[in-house]
Structure 1
């Protein structure tokens, strides 16, 4: 299991992560835009939103990966979570495919008494994923990679 920092930005993830890359060095291990997502019924993204970052990962060292995405108004409305600078941070729990039961256990235990933003479920990127705010106001993500 690995715990990482996951940041949200309102449109400037790419600029922020190019800056972090210049400071820490290295290369992005993942960089996906919202326009790369498969089409979803009822979801229509503007050309501007399609260019925004859906996910970026910058390995800092062998134990730490800094990750982020841009949020948009549609996402904020869906999750009922307004974007607020200073609270745009998650702790991301990352597990491998052999730890699916552990992912479910951690999601259920940590989210008890909190509010679930995205229920734990399979995703198009080949993972079991969910997000929530715990009873103490801490935001968490659980990502268990099912496919490599």
Structure 2
């Protein structure tokens, strides 16, 4: 079951008094314990109500009121969302929490509604279907998408080249012979033991994944990496560097969407589109 664990406000939290370093570290250790136990979905502290706003609904009227709000013991100073097996388990975890305030304080536990609670109202299941679709949409909006490149044994060479000419930054790299699990026999061609199993690098603000693969990957087809650069001189330098040993598919030139745009395939078979931002991007 999913529960919200609510830290009630106190005089000190409403006054905006910051916690001591000791309490901050203690709460951090408690949160770490929750994460390791696999029950914490999220959690945050809230600023005092003096920085908040309320909107009151009465029929079609909307009344906006700026904080602070007087009912201190009814206000929220922070919260967690936990996935637990029962309210009893949630209570046991709350008992382990450091006192979140310097004075006496309260933590409230409230279970979330589940769709099963609305079964008698949602007899045809339409509300459940709508909820499922919304959750799927939110999940995909939060998903991360990255290009994964396979260099067929030339990953080290490509990374070195991109670092030199594109300012690439490698954040992680490990090789097949560093894998904690043994690579299945016959999976790699001879001499691939020291090749790159997985790495992560960035070019500008674009994060890419890469590997040498298992040696039998074909050329990159069907997509390009788009690189937008503010400086014309730098765009020309990068384009020329990528074209060195590769091939120019479309020379740099003015287009209706960009003051300078070109397409090139580098010597590793990777397709690039290099461009200056258009007028809309510069505003």
User: Is the shorter-chain TM-score for this pair beyond 0.5, marking a shared fold?
Assistant: no
What TM-score results when the alignment is normalised by the length of structure 1? 0.45
Structure of greater Rg: 2
Greater share of residues in strand: 1
